[in-house]
Structure 1
Amino acid sequence: MTIDKSFSLNTFNKGDLLTLLCALFFACHITSIGYFSKDKEPIVLSIIQFAVTAILFTISALLFEPFPIHVQASVLKAVVYLSLACTVFAYTVQNVAQKYTSSSHAAIILCLEAIFGTILAIILLGEILTLKMLIGCIIIFLGIFITETKLDFMKKKKQNEKK
């Protein structure tokens, strides 16, 4: 959901819907990788994922996008880098790691992606930490903290007080 300058959720737009759909499919992806990677080789699973994705998106691009006639070398380098480093490497590491952990723990770890992206943007790109960014990081940390602890420490404290 987008938060405007007054920190209110006044509008629900197309981007918000796409973000929610992306989150839903990302959750399905994590769950399915957790299921399939237990008995299968994660590298083979990654290769199958990339092959299916490449075929589907090539067909979609040919049907719905104009064919680029002139592509600069710098653009091709960026596409190759992003394809290899950010997609092939990252998803293969995720598939291998998920073989040794549960889907719920993998999802919690992957929730930190936005926080690491924010920290690296501040350190490497010199971005300014805004109040919205800080609040977003705090909300994510609180969500992870509550999910992991289930606030059991508060329940134990109340039980000890009753004794």
Structure 2
Amino acid sequence: MSSVKQPTTLGPMRRKSFEDMPCSIAQFLEVAGEWWTMLVVRDAFFGVTRFDDFQSRLGISRNVLTQRLEHLVEQGVLAREAYQDNPPRYDYRLTPKGRALWPVLTAMRQWGDVWAAPDGPPVVVTHATCGQATTAVMVCDHCGEALDGSGLTVSPGPGDPDGTVLPPRLHGA
């Protein structure tokens, strides 16, 4: 039996699709915004590949896990590889698109370590090259300065041809 506390549900809420919204955050949420999704991806990074292992580790219902895995395969985040024919059974492995979620998971984990882990981080990441425990730091790819959200400006990019992603006051309209 799993020691994972089951989240409470708020009833049959349907969320809006962000498929047509020209915003990279909205597009990320379209793929990975459901709350179980990033926990499935986290476990895939930890080496979990089999349905029953995901299910027992997460305490997620089988039907919800089936939906999440199918969605992640459809989105190209996981690849399904048969390891048994009768009955059919599959491993779920991260694709390059899935492995590209590592910085997202790292940012979420580090936020949780600071703001929601009073007894300290539940997971420590060690850099294999130097052998030291490490945290990821976002830096400017031009000058190397650490980025924390201050000292930055935003402007419409080429993927926002009608200028609707940013509020009007942020792009001079």
> TM-score band, normalised by the shorter chain?
under 0.3
Structure with more of its chain in helix, by fraction: 1
What TM-score does the superposition give when structure 1 sets the normalisation length?
Answer: 0.20
TM-score by length of 2: 0.20
Whose RCO is larger (CA < 8 A, sep 6+)? 1
Structure possessing the higher radius of gyration over alpha carbons? 1
